[in-house]
């Protein structure tokens, strides 16, 4: 694989940081030297940014790999670090959350108010019998109560399991059962695409199969009628009538903070367990470093959903532990119009925007005239998260959102890593469009071949982490063997079943390459690497080549079984609005695109087939479901489509496929 993944795509453009940002950056190039000189001392200094009730005795215990313990013997309370200490420092009147509901209703919540609500929720949960160590499932829309619920659990030492509000009753049932959750916190519904979207019926269906659930707390959001049982309690009648006095108790640094299940439609979901001290240390530090966050002046907006790890780390724990003012938005980017995001940036004078490449490519498809209609001059830094960003989307983001001048931090990390691991530092790095660049200070990442040896610059292979990091997952909930097998058994001591801590290597499941300067480029999941005529080709690079054509807004690529080449490349491309795709013009565009890929990446990467489609199948979090596209490409019946944002997309694609919008010369 290391040979075949070597640099198909070549990108030479570089963008230095703006001089003013570099002069005033929170973190300078010295941090790399500091961390390289003594990694554990570096992380110990970052832990010192937090308020600890009891100092730790040991920074890292790695005596029983791969089970790490960070800040051993230390005690702290996460909610105290996110709320109380800011209020005690006289910043209670500072806005914590500017909340924007999809219908246009708003709430402005200060740190003092967020603290008060969290204390009430902590008291209400305690009254319902929730104790430290119990699990609480949270299934909510993007409302402030979602952050309150998480902070209240952290405050009393209950372990929260947030489940994305788009998941089905079966998915919710599996997650409640696996964690044996005692309480579920939900809402009657939320607003999505201009109308109420019910949540309570899904919870009712799930709870019927979950005997561990004793109580259900229900936030009233839409006012729609809901079924009611003896287990159900209204949030406004329970939480909002509780005492506002609550003393936060410190918990051990290794106390379980949350379980977050990685999505998957097959087998038992994997409950990724994160603990307290190390997780908060790294999320807090990376928010400060990667976003150059200045809490006094910045208005920060991460557009993720609370149900994903990005919402945990970079909406709740990272920004609030830094005392940030942030925006939280309930709805979709095109309701009631395609400029809604830019309207929000304009309205709240957002300075830092952190969003997903899928959204940026969707905005490209809609056209640059939409962001151009709003005042985006308040922005000073842009970020991307969720998957590799292709160079053309990066350039579009910089040009049409960042006015051609703003730095972009393209971040790589995972549910499992807990916090950003690889990213440009905005005041230091000369960024390359599409590259996550280098590991952050204190993080030891590498690209290795099949034998676990580092590949030279210009080579490709597997992305690994060679040293433990504070925000790392501690295990898979209830399944230590699966934890070892899934993440530690590919390379090093984990593969041989022994060795000292220095020999354990974490494999992320992602392919990557080093360019000629040694900078890291992510190539997507190794599951998405196609084997074409003996060559491993990354779907990410072929998609990037397609999107670099001026007529393409977004693309998804899969490998389909082929009698000649083993696998053949099948591409699905969304044309930009200005592209002519009717009749002969469409056929010509397909031929042009195939040749464009061959010219950009080489003949081996030329797609067998390209289909022009109006949309791609995406989950509600914006992930492209390539599994369904493989089903279409291989003429199989479709798998589970329940997690799709719009399941009718697959009908459109399948009918187009049979209509022959392809080219197989």
How many structural domains is the chain composed of?
1
- The pair phi, psi for residue 290, each rounded to 5°, is -70, -35
Residue 663 resides in a domain: yes
Q: What pLDDT score was predicted for residue 147?
A: 98
Q: What pLDDT score was predicted for residue 5?
A: 47
The annotation status of 417 as a binding-site residue, yes or no, is no
Q: What pLDDT score was predicted for residue 623?
A: 76
Residue 201 resides in a domain: no
The annotation status of 643 as a binding-site residue, yes or no, is no
**Is the CB of residue 304 less than 8 Å from the CB of residue 118?**
no
The annotation status of 66 as a binding-site residue, yes or no, is no
Q: Which residues of 54-75 are buried (b: 16+ CB within 10 A; e: fewer)?
A: eebeebbbbeebbebbbbeebb
E-strand ranges in 444-586 read 445-448, 460-465, 475-476, 506-514, 520-525, 529-532, 535-538, 552-562, 566-575
Average pLDDT by consecutive 10-residue portion of the chain (665 residues)? 49 93 97 98 98 98 97 98 98 98 98 98 98 98 98 98 89 94 98 94 97 98 97 98 98 98 67 98 98 98 94 98 98 95 98 94 92 98 92 95 97 97 98 96 96 93 96 97 94 78 88 94 82 75 89 91 82 85 88 91 87 85 80 76 66 57 39
**Is the CB of residue 199 less than 8 Å from the CB of residue 181?**
no
Q: What pLDDT score was predicted for residue 1?
A: 39
The annotation status of 192 as a binding-site residue, yes or no, is yes
The annotation status of 410 as a binding-site residue, yes or no, is yes
Residue 154 resides in a domain: no
Residue 654 resides in a domain: yes
The annotation status of 49 as a binding-site residue, yes or no, is no
The annotation status of 193 as a binding-site residue, yes or no, is yes
Give the span between the Cα atoms of 391 and 531, in whole angstroms. Answer: 24
What dihedral angle (degrees, nearest 10) is formed by the CA atoms of 108, 111, 116, 119? Answer: 130
Using CB atoms within 10 A of its CB, is residue 523 exposed (0-12), middle (13-18) or buried (19+)? Answer: buried
The residue range of the domain holding 540 is 533-665
Give a three-class secondary structure readout of 587-639.
HHHHHHHHHHHHHHHCHHHCCCEEEECCCCCEECCCCECHHHHHHHHCCCCCC
The annotation status of 342 as a binding-site residue, yes or no, is no
The annotation status of 310 as a binding-site residue, yes or no, is yes
CATH code at position 653 = 3.30.300.30
Strand partners, 138: 162, 185
Residue 414, classed as helix, strand or coil, is: coil
Residues whose CB falls within 8 Å of the CB of residue 237, separated by 6 or more in sequence, listed in order: none
Give the span between the Cα atoms of 403 and 379, in whole angstroms. Answer: 9
Residue 607 resides in a domain: yes
The annotation status of 411 as a binding-site residue, yes or no, is yes
The annotation status of 498 as a binding-site residue, yes or no, is no
Structure tokens at 88: 């005690």
The annotation status of 281 as a binding-site residue, yes or no, is no
Residue 85 resides in a domain: no
The annotation status of 549 as a binding-site residue, yes or no, is yes
E-strand ranges in 111-242 read 135-139, 159-162, 183-187, 189-192, 195-198, 215-219, 232-234
Residue 576 resides in a domain: yes
Q: What pLDDT score was predicted for residue 113?
A: 98
Residue 63, classed as helix, strand or coil, is: strand
Residue 561 resides in a domain: yes
Task: State the distance between the two ends of the chain, measured CA to CA, in whole angstroms.
Answer: 28
């Amino acid at each position: 694989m290391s040979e075949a993944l070597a640099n198909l795509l070549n990108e030479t453009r570089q963008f230095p940081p703006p001089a003013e940002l570099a002069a005033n950056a929170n973190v300078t190039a010295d941090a790399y030297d500091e961390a390289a000189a003594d990694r554990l001392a570096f992380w110990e200094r970052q832990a010192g940014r937090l308020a600890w009730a009891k100092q730790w005795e040991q920074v890292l215990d790695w005596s029983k790999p791969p089970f790490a313990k960070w800040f051993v013997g230390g005690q702290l309370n996460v909610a105290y670090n996110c709320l109380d200490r800011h209020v005690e420092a006289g910043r209670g009147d500072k806005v914590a959350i500017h909340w924007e509901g999809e219908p246009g209703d708003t709430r402005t919540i200060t740190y003092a108010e967020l603290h008060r609500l969290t204390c009430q929720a902590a008291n209400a949960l305690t009254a319902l019998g929730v104790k430290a160590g119990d699990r609480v499932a949270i299934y909510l829309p993007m409302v402030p109560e979602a952050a309150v619920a998480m902070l209240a659990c952290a405050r009393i030492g209950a372990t929260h399991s947030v489940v994305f509000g788009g998941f089905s009753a079966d998915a919710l049932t599996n997650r409640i059962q696996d964690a044996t959750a005692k309480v579920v916190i939900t809402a009657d519904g939320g607003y999505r695409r201009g109308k109420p979207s019910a949540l309570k019926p899904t919870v009712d269906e799930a709870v019927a199969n979950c005997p561990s659930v004793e109580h259900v707390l229900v936030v009233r959001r839409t006012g729609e009628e809901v079924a009611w049982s003896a287990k159900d309690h209204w949030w406004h009648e329970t939480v909002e009538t509780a005492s506002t006095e609550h003393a936060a108790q410190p918990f051990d640094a290794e106390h379980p903070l949350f379980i977050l299940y990685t999505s998957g439609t097959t087998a038992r979901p994997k409950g990724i367990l994160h603990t307290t001290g190390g997780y908060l240390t790294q999320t807090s530090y990376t928010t400060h470093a990667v976003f150059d966050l200045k809490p006094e002046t910045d208005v920060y907006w991460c557009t993720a959903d609370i149900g994903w790890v990005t919402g945990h780390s970079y909406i709740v724990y990272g920004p609030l532990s830094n005392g940030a003012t942030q925006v939280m938005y309930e709805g979709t980017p095109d309701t009631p119009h395609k400029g809604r995001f830019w309207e929000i940036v304009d309205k709240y004078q957002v300075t830092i925007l952190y969003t997903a490449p899928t959204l940026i490519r969707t905005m490209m498809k809609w056209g640059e005239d939409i962001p151009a209609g709003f005042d985006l001059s308040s922005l000073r830094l842009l970020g991307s998260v969720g998957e590799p960003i292709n160079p053309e989307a990066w350039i579009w983001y910089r040009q049409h959102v960042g006015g051609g001048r703003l730095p972009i931090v393209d971040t790589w990390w995972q549910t499992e890593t807990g916090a950003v691991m690889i990213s440009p530092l905005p005041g230091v790095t000369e960024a390359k469009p599409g590259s996550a660049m280098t590991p952050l200070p204190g993080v030891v990442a590498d690209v290795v071949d099949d034998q676990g040896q580092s590949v030279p610059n210009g080579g490709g292979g597997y992305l690994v982490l060679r040293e433990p990091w504070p925000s790392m997952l501690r295990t898979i909930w209830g399944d230590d063997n699966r934890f070892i097998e899934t993440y530690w058994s590919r390379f090093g001591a984990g593969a041989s079943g022994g060795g000292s801590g220095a020999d354990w290597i974490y494999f992320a499941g992602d392919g990557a390459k080093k360019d000629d300067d040694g900078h890291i480029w992510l190539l997507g999941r190794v599951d998405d690497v196609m084997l074409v005529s003996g060559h491993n080709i990354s779907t990410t690079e072929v998609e990037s080549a397609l999107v670099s054509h001026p007529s393409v807004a977004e693309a998804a690529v899969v490998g389909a079984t082929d009698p000649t080449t083993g696998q053949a490349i099948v591409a699905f491309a969304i044309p930009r609005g200005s592209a002519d795709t009717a009749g002969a013009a469409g056929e010509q565009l397909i031929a042009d695109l195939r040749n464009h890929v061959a010219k950009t990446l080489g003949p081996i990467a030329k797609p067998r087939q390209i289909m022009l489609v109006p949309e791609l199948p995406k989950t509600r979090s914006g992930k492209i479901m390539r599994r369904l596209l493989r089903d279409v490409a291989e003429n199989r019946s479709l798998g589970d489509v329940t997690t799709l944002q719009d399941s009718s997309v697959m009908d459109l694609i399948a009918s187009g496929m049979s209509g022959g919008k392809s080219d197989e010369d």
